[in-house]
Amino acid sequence: MKTMIITSSKSITLKEFLALPETKPAKEYINGKIIQKPMPKGKHSTIQTELSTAINLTLKSQKIARAFSELRCTFGDRSIVPDITILQWNKIPRDDNGEIADSFYLAPDWVIEILSPEQSQTKVVKNILSCLDNGTQMGWLIDPNDKCVFVYFSQHKPLLFEAETDILPVPDFANSFHLTIGKLFAFLLE
């Protein structure tokens, strides 16, 4: 059963939403409404942790890009918390001390969502499409139960990858990162 908890039926502004305290699991602001994300479970959490680490081992070590887990990104009419946000190194917001900033007011360069059993696939796809409309180069929607990945591009139709030997496409800036469907879902066996 897929459910989505709407925590406010009254429309509020983005500024009002951003003034609210953070919650666990995170709440997102979409078109004037507050929607709470479901609490991640085992498969979701495992893929999120292992995939973020794998991306960072390749891209962060070369100062190409960095993967962030559960990072709030505010842009357009949304404030969302993708499962994994990847930003190119030179786009990572920094504070006056040169440290990573607390607030990110931009769309990810690459966004990855991992579908939870009780999560609305439509809502997640809408977030990915909104990211693409705001400058994101690519979005992945990983479905751990069906062992497949939908890849969304900014310039052409989405593609489905489900064979163990399928190599998942990545944005151009991440071309040194290689991952097959088999390796992705092998994270669940480790």
Domain limits of the chain? 38-189
Q: Which pLDDT does position 28 carry in this prediction?
A: 77
Per the prediction, the chain carries an average pLDDT of: 90
pLDDT at 164 over 70: yes
pLDDT digits (tens, 9 = 90+) for 46-75: 999 999 999 999 999 999 999 999 999 999
Task: Quote the pTM value.
Answer: 0.88
pLDDT digits (tens, 9 = 90+) for 122-141: 989 999 999 999 999 999 99
Where does the pLDDT of residue 10 fall: very low under 50, low under 70, confident under 90, or very high at 90 and above? low
pLDDT at 1 over 80: no
Judge: domain 38-189, CATH 3.90.1570.10: yes
**What's the alpha-carbon Rg for the chain, to the nearest Å?**
16
